[in-house]
């Protein structure tokens, strides 16, 4: 059985207007689980960046990678404007995708 691939670019934040991380994956739920559980040491674990604040589904991985590279080149304020254009309250969108809310201690400020 072949796993369905859903290429997307996503943005995580430590808190509203906090530290941002941009990534690309073909399995958003699985990748979010990895970030939220710190299963791989790296930037998101070190800086407590776990809240999904934006994601874009794309048609194929090539376009997803191109979009990721584009967003990473953007100025920080452009990224914030992009997030706030659809998620002005910086709500953790992962909850709407079926993941549990982040618990206490999962964000940098403990909220």
Q: Specify the DSSP element, H or E, that contains 82.
A: helix 76-86
Q: pTM to 2 decimals?
A: 0.88
Which SS3 state, helix, strand or coil, does residue 21 take? Answer: strand
64 with 8: CB under 8 angstroms? yes
Q: What is the pLDDT of residues 58-110, one digit of tens each?
A: 999 999 999 999 999 999 999 999 999 999 999 999 999 999 999 754 444 34
Q: What is the pLDDT of residues 8-63, one digit of tens each?
A: 999 999 999 999 999 999 999 999 999 999 997 899 999 999 999 999 999 999 99
65: which DSSP letter?
Answer: H
C-alpha distances (whole Å) from 48 to each of 5, 28, 31, 57 are 27, 18, 15, 24
């Amino acid at each position: 059985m072949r796993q369905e691939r859903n290429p997307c670019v996503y943005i995580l934040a430590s808190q509203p207007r906090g530290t941002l991380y941009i990534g690309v994956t073909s399995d958003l739920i699985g990748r979010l689980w990895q970030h939220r559980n710190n299963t791989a040491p790296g930037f998101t674990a070190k800086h407590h960046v776990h809240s999904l604040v934006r994601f874009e589904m794309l048609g194929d991985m090539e376009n997803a990678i191109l979009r990721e590279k584009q967003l990473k080149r953007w100025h920080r304020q452009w990224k914030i404007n992009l997030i706030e254009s659809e998620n002005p309250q910086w709500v953790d969108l992962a909850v709407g995708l079926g993941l549990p809310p982040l618990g206490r201690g999962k964000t940098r400020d403990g909220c």
